Amino acid sequence: MQSELSQVNKLLLFKQRDKFSQSAWNDRGLNPSSTELCIQLTQLFDLCADELIKAVNNNNSNRQLKSVLKAGLKNFNKLDYDTEEKEFICDLFHELAIIINVDFNENLNKWLYGSVLTTLMKIQKALKPEKIVQTIKQPCTKCGTQLETHILRKEEGIPETSWFVAKCNNCGELNLISPGPNAKQTRFGNYQWVDTLRMDEYTYDQALTRLEQIKFFRK
């Protein structure tokens, strides 16, 4: 029950967030798309979030939750969007998938690249695994395990914008982690993502306070 309430709360926060704000585009190094398109995208994502909330409240299985995501993705005609917009859409669907603990990566790759290219990418990945250019380590505050954030791509000038609330795989403790500046693509190592706290909304001390609140409500 606690897990379901947490998922619903995160979905509500996702819905309430201004997902296509000026700052959201700026964080991606992009100029905003038209107001009309941003409104349309917001409405489609809010509709999907509403359907997911209903599904979670109905105790639907992971397979059923994934079906809700698939139905939501079908509402987005990829021919209507440019490359940057499609990547933004996929990132937000990935965020929804993480909230409900569903693996949706292959579906997103097929939507973004097509079935044939996705298959070729899977073969290439098997033959040539992703290269880790840097690993950021931070000790878990409870058990001391070095929590690893793998940096797959770096680009000068990308600011540090957020902290991750990360759940240690070893002891389950929640920690506050930042990948640092210039991180263009990251992968979580030995922890699970729980939430993201934006630095323009939280000071470090406020983020620590929020971390303690999340720990309390997850008990």
Domain limits, the chain: 2-127, 134-217
In the prediction, which pLDDT does 20 show? 94
Q: What does the alpha-carbon distance between residue 214 and residue 22 come to, in Å, rounded to a whole number?
A: 28
Digitized pLDDT (tens) for each residue of the chain, 219 residues in all: 445 668 899 999 999 999 999 888 887 878 899 999 999 999 999 999 999 999 999 999 999 999 999 999 999 998 999 989 998 999 999 999 989 988 898 899 889 887 666 566 555 555 556 678 888 899 999 999 899 988 888 888 888 888 888 888 888 889 999 888 888 888 888 888 888 888 888 999 999 999 988 887 765
Residue pair 163/196 in contact (Cβ under 8 Å)? The answer is yes
In the prediction, which pLDDT does 2 show? 43
Residue pair 140/147 in contact (Cβ under 8 Å)? The answer is yes
In the prediction, which pLDDT does 97 show? 92
pLDDT, averaged across the chain: 86
In the prediction, which pLDDT does 193 show? 83
In the prediction, which pLDDT does 13 show? 92
* The amino acid at 118: T
In the prediction, which pLDDT does 123 show? 52
Query: pLDDT, tens digit, for every residue of 168-212?
Result: 888 888 999 988 888 888 888 888 888 888 888 899 999 999 998
Residues of the chain with pLDDT > 70: what percent?
A: 89
2-127 CATH, one of 3.40.50.12280, 1.20.1480.40, 3.20.20.120, 1.25.40.10 = 1.20.1480.40
